[in-house]
A = this chain, B = another copy of it.
Amino acid sequence: MAIHKKEEFTQKEQDLAAFAKALAHPARIAILKLLAQKNECICGQIVDELPLSQSTVSQHLKELKIAGLIDGSIDGPRSCYCINWKAFEKFMGEFSFLFNKMKLQNEKACC
């Protein structure tokens, strides 16, 4: 990119975009699904379930964590990850609101 333009948009637009970006890779979707399938936080075994190297999975986990979508505590050779439901509900709610509002206002298609 020649010039950064993202900061020209509203904070809410940037936040929603950042949330979507965190979900914008199948590996990260798969990780979130994994975190849900077990009825508890996953301590280890995430790498084994994905067709990616350990370092790559670790990087995806890091991104999810930075985005606030998962929580994780690391104690030495063991890590423990789980979904941050609060953040999730917040963003999903904002999206739903945005699109429900849109839906209400605009129902007739023309193109």
Contact = CB atoms under 8 A, between A and B. Distances in A.
A82 interface: yes
Nearest to A104: B36
Chain A interface main SS type:
helix
Task: From A5, A6, A26, A36, name the one whose CB has the most chain B CB atoms within 10 angstroms.
Answer: A26
A72 B24 contact: no
Nearest to A27: B9
Given A24-B21, A41-B109, A71-B111, A30 B51 contact: no
Interface of A: 5-6, 8-10, 13-14, 16-18, 20-30, 32-33, 35-41, 51-52, 56, 71-73, 80-83, 85, 88, 92, 95-96, 98-99, 101-103, 105-106, 108-111
